[in-house]
Amino acid sequence: MTTLLSVEGLTKAYPGVVANDDVSFSIEPGEVHALLGENGAGKSTLVKMIYGLVRPDSGTMTLDGRAFVPSEPRAARASGVAMVFQHFSLFEALSVAENIALGMEDPPKMRDLSARIAEVSHAYGLPLDPARLVGTLSAGERQRVEIIRCLLQDPKLLIMDEPTSVLTPQEVEILFATLRKLRDEGTAILYISHKLEEIRALCDAATILRLGKVVASCDPREKSARELAEMMVGKVLHQTKSAGQEMGEAVLSVRNLSLPPATQFGTPLSDIAFEVRAGEVLGIGGVAGNGQDELLSALSGERKSGDHIFLHGQAISRLGPTQRRHIGILSGPEERLGHAAAPDMSLIENALLTGSVRENLAKNGFLNWPRTRAFAEKIIETFDVRTPSASSAARSLSGGNLQKFVIGREVLQRPEVLVVNQPTWGVDAAAAAAIRQALLNLAASGTAVVVISQDLDELMEISDTFAALNGGKLSAKVPAAGLTVDQIGLMLGGAHDMEVADDHAEEALHA
Amino acid sequence: MIRLEKRPNPSRLWTALTPVLAVLLTMIAGGILFAILGKDPFEAIRTIFWDPLFNEQFAAFSRPQLLVKAGPLILIAIGLSLGFRAGIWNIGAEGQYILGAVCGAAVGLAFYPSESPFIFPLMVIAGALGGWAWAMIPAVLKIKFGTNEILVSLMLVYVAEKLLASMALGALRNPEGGGFPGSRNLSQHPGTDNPELIAGTGLHWGVATAFIAVILAYILLNRHILGYQIKLAGQAPRAARFAGVNPNLLIAICLGLSGALAGLAGLFEVSGPAGQISIDFNSGYGFTAIIVAFLGRLHPVGILLAGLLMALTYIGGELAQFMLGLPAAAIQAFQGMLLFFLLGLDVLSNYRIRLTGFAAKGAS
């Protein structure tokens, strides 16, 4: 059997982060090949390069023995590569057949196309009425439309990006039957997921990415989910901070916090309970979309709740963000541009965004710009933010520099409690180390720090205690020292109830 | 393929220069248009931009008109610009303008024939409240039910026009008017009049209020936390909530404030230049002010200049129709060009044009 697609030394760097670093792997015809990795490991960038959406900086691809350099998705499709995206691109007001015709280069007559759709959909066990409006279809049925759109091109390689995240368990079974049928006909499938059990059930080979690099290749059927998780997360979970540090009394406590989702796709928080002591760094791990955003907004005051959150025993749940800052609860959301900072505003104006209360930047509502500028310059200097000046727009900074500014802005306000979500997401190694050190220093000065992150290495490095957020539920917290990958994997629910854990995972990745 | 690419840090020089450049380009394109119509382009441009201010024959009449026309435009545009900056789109200033005039006039007429000096201040308050109340309808509906304020405020303009007609024909009709529609003349009655404060300038209380509004808006936007929150909510709504901004409160403030200012403009107009409530009292200031707000790029000083420029093209346009026989449509096209060039140049100062395949820099 000749290799269908081989990828050699593919590298793609974005400012501040190397998304793919010398990635090589190959896919045989009729193989279901898993691409496995945590969020941010570089899976999406890799398949975007194969599908012609992103151009690699270096490296080569070979398809069917010929050099493969897709300049755009159309070229990739012409070469026999099709892709089903996690987010559908369908018009709800059009019928199934019309939607499919829209995506074709040279659509046949509608009647012929409808007949073909009906034929293909039945052949692959994906029944679909070509005349139905897409708006009336379920998520699973919409995915069928996308799959059939691909199958009509008779692809040699089908790429599926987190296909099961929108499906019910029954629909997953149907999808897998279809994919197996395709495989038996010789179509290769590149299957992207971080759901380990699914990959073990479906895939013949797996390439595991971590921080943009291929860390392992294996046959997933011969490995346990735990072994796969170890390869995905990496075995080296070392401790840099001595355990058993002196900690003060409980500062922030959360009891029985439940919150309905803010949006249709959000995760409800259910019965969250924890407490953080002065000087403690609590690491909250979990796959994105398991309630991280919701937990942060409940703690920052963007969303209010009943009497479930207490500072030194005082209920604070009904206070808004400004009042919470006043009493010392500060936070750093995950999304830098648009949430933690206003992209088109200068760093000075962004310093005001959260600093006005504690830094006395406004008096009777009137702003003290010289003081605000001084505060912004202090952040820039203390945290080594690389920027031409404090007047530069936030969006002109690199991700790492803006993140240092955003974290620095909160740290310099001497919070009693600091809650950060993904503090080093998409940040280069040097900036990430600086941010982690700043959080540790803050804790050493007596602040209670909560770090929500998907980066388990990071959490093991800086946390005193660890808890896992899974499907909107928080596990009991345990001392971080001495935690093994096995235990973390079990806490994250990785091996036993994946289908619940990951329902909304990928939305956060693409957000 | 042409692609627009956002400039990370737009040049401040270009941002400041684009309005000037837009006016120059409008003059050139307008000149070509007028030449095609068989008129001398230089004379036409001079008639529009120069004669209203400096021609000996016309200036005495048209110079005061400049402030009379610019006053309400600036006053309304200042209010609108605050909402526009926050992403709250009040399109119904025309209706709020009408309601301000009707409420203010009603108070003035209620005291007729008293000439007490307290009547006019009461009318001012009533005018502002009338415009405010009319704008609070879309505000409350948006806050309570999430309705679209663009549609609601716009449709309320037509309701206001009907209300105006019924007032002119019914409740506020001049009992001594011989059955003609329209109220008593407020500007000819001491106590309810809004006189020219300095003879020959056109400066009345409304113009003075507009200037004060410019100054206060400048302070609000640059020195006050509310102005900061307005800008933040418009640019990054999620960051605004993170900063503790209450979006509903902001909707109420922005719509209420712009309604109150539009109402004031209506009151000053009905008690001054217009003189009375009539069926066709409103003349489109509320809509033109939207253009003025954007022409002044939502900046108070810019709006001041844009209001004056817009008023000038109106007066000069009328003069050109009258003197050169230019069709009204040509004048409207000319005014449209101004907005077109301004918005076009605006895009170029914020984005660069990239031709895919080979890198080419935009013309700006």
Which range in A448-462, B285-299, B344-358 is most confidently predicted, on average pLDDT? B285-299
Q: Structure tokens of B329?
A: 């449509």
Q: Structure tokens of B281?
A: 């009292």
Listed residues A202, A233, A264: the one ending a domain: A233
> Would you place residue B60 in the very low, low, confident or very high pLDDT band (cuts 50, 70, 90)?
confident
Q: What is the pLDDT of residue A264?
A: 63
In a domain, A75, yes or no: yes
Q: In a 3-state reduction of DSSP, which class is residue B16?
A: helix
The answer on A207 and A290 residing in a single domain is no
Mean per-residue pLDDT, B266-291 = 93
Is it the case that residue B173 has pLDDT exceeding 80? yes
Listed residues A233, A260, A289: the one ending a domain: A233
pLDDT tens column, B4-27 = 777 766 777 887 788 888 889 999
Q: What is the pLDDT of residue A496?
A: 31
ipTM over 0.90? The verdict is no
Please, what is the average pLDDT of chain A? Answer: 83
| Cα-Cα-Cα-Cα dihedral sign, residues A374, A379, A382, A385 | negative
Region at A260 (left for phi over 0; alpha for psi -120 to 50; beta for the rest): beta
Cβ A392–B9 below 8 Å, yes or no?
yes
The answer on A228 and A254 residing in a single domain is no
Nearest CB to B235; choose among A339, A345, A362: A345
Q: Could you say which DSSP state residue A41 is in?
A: S
Q: How far is B137 from chain A (nearest CA, A)?
A: 27
Instruction: Give burial (CB, 10 Å; 0-12/13-18/19+) of A74.
Output: exposed
- Count structural domains, chain A: 2
CB of A366 within 8 Å of any CB in chain B? yes
Q: What is the pLDDT of residue A509?
A: 38
Q: What is the pLDDT of residue A289?
A: 66
Return the number of CB contacts < 8 Å for A and B. Answer: 70
φ/ψ (deg, to 5) at A207: -115, 125
- Chain B residues contacting A via beta carbons under 8 Å: 8-9, 223-226, 228, 231-232, 235-236, 238-244, 246
Q: What is the pLDDT of residue A416?
A: 94
Q: Amino acid letter at B196?
A: E
CB of A395 within 8 Å of any CB in chain B? yes
The answer on A375 and A275 residing in a single domain is yes
Q: What is the pLDDT of residue A495?
A: 33
Mean per-residue pLDDT, B346-353 = 83
**Beta strands A314-315 and A309-311: pairing type?**
antiparallel
The answer on A272 and A203 residing in a single domain is no
| Tally of helices (H runs) and strands (E runs) in chain B | 14, 2
- What is the rounded end-to-end Cα distance, in angstroms, of chain A? 40
Q: What is the pLDDT of residue A27?
A: 92
The answer on A345 and A279 residing in a single domain is yes
The residues of chain A scoring below 50 in pLDDT are 236-240, 242-244, 494-511
Q: How far is B94 from chain A (nearest CA, A)?
A: 31
pLDDT tens column, B75-111 = 999 999 999 999 999 999 999 999 999 999 999 999 9
In a domain, A238, yes or no: no
Q: How far is B257 from chain A (nearest CA, A)?
A: 18
| CATH number, domain containing residue A129 | 3.40.50.300
The answer on A273 and A226 residing in a single domain is no
Q: How far is B81 from chain A (nearest CA, A)?
A: 18
Q: Structure tokens of A276?
A: 């953080």
| Cα–Cα distance measured from residue B75 to residue B264, given in angstroms and rounded to the nearest whole number | 8
Which helix (H) or strand (E) is A151 found in, with range? helix A139-151
Query: Which domains, ranges and CATH numbers included, belong to chain B?
Result: 40-325 (1.10.3470)
Q: What is the pLDDT of residue A168?
A: 58
Q: Which domain covers residue A99, as residue numbers?
A: 5-233
Beta-strand runs (E) in A42-146: 58-63, 66-67, 81-84
| Cα–Cα distance measured from residue A51 to residue A7, given in angstroms and rounded to the nearest whole number | 12
Which residues of A fall within a CB distance of 8 Å from B349? none
Q: In a 3-state reduction of DSSP, which class is residue A85?
A: coil
The answer on A333 and A227 residing in a single domain is no
The answer on A156 and A114 residing in a single domain is yes
The answer on A169 and A140 residing in a single domain is yes
Mean per-residue pLDDT, B122-135 = 97
In a domain, A245, yes or no: no
Residue of A nearest to B239 (CA): A339
| Cα–Cα distance measured from residue A203 to residue A191, given in angstroms and rounded to the nearest whole number | 8
Q: Amino acid letter at B94?
A: E
In a domain, A239, yes or no: no
| Cα-Cα-Cα-Cα dihedral sign, residues A492, A499, A143, A221 | positive
In a domain, A241, yes or no: no
Is it the case that residue B360 has pLDDT exceeding 60? no
Which residues of B fall within a CB distance of 8 Å from A395? 8
The answer on A366 and A303 residing in a single domain is yes
| Cα–Cα distance measured from residue A273 to residue A271, given in angstroms and rounded to the nearest whole number | 6
pLDDT tens column, A267-319 = 789 899 999 999 999 999 876 667 888 899 999 999 888 889 999 999 998 89
The answer on A37 and A71 residing in a single domain is yes
- Tracing tokens 């935009």 back to the chain, one arrives at B362
Distances A269 to A264, A290, A305, A456, B17 between C-alpha atoms, Å:
14, 9, 11, 21, 52
The answer on A303 and A225 residing in a single domain is no
Q: What is the pLDDT of residue A430?
A: 67
Q: What share of residues in chain B are helix, strand, coil (percent, to 5)?
A: 70, 5, 25
B286 within 8 A of B97, measured Cβ to Cβ: yes
Region at A313 (left for phi over 0; alpha for psi -120 to 50; beta for the rest): left
Nearest CB to A393; choose among B8, B240, B243: B8
In a domain, A422, yes or no: yes
Which residues of B fall within a CB distance of 8 Å from A367? 223-225, 228
Distances A214 to A46, A58, A202, A206, A217 between C-alpha atoms, Å:
11, 16, 21, 11, 8
Distances A227 to A31, A40, A56, A501 between C-alpha atoms, Å:
22, 20, 31, 18
In a domain, A448, yes or no: yes
In a domain, A150, yes or no: yes
